[in-house]
Amino acid sequence: MLNKKVEKALVAQIEKEGYSSNLYLAMASWAETKGMEGVSKWMYAQADEERMHMLKFIAYVNERGGKAIIPAFEKPPVDFDNVHKMFEQVLSHEQYVTKSINDIVGVCLGEKDFTTHNWIQWFVEEQIEEEASAQTIIDKLNLLGDGGLYLFDRDILSMRTESEPGAE
């Protein structure tokens, strides 16, 4: 049976993962309307990944005897200043999610829920990858300066594929 404090933390994370998916959908839509096919595809893939994270939390809570609550999600922004600032927002958001995952780890340890502690480690590792991916993109955008956005947009999909597990 799932500890109630741990369940509460996991249910709160469901909302964060769902919002993350919607945020990246909004970013994808914005990029698509600006003609940035590569950025929009990267963001659509990111949105799908965040949705899968949400589903993992839902399934785990329910499997362990808790009750996953599906919340309403806050509306994400619809406009972004530019690609560079958008990816800075991605990094900031991923750092927020990392803190939340680390807080769940703390609750698990405090409640001696070692089963959930073990399960949540996948997300700890995932957040390391998410932050590194966003930082890598920001670094590349910094190298480009104000020019070269066309080439960046064309190449961003290969950046995602290369960083995925099992990619050659």
Q: Return binding residues for Fe cation.
A: 17, 50, 53, 94, 127
List residues forming the annotated binding site.
17, 50, 53, 94, 127
Other residues' Cβ atoms within 10 Å of the Cβ of residue 136: 13
Count of other CB atoms within 10 angstroms of residue 94: 22
* Residue 14 CA to its chain's centroid (Å): 12
* Residue 112, both tokens: 């001696």
Q: What's the CA gap between 41 and 37, in Å, rounded? A: 6
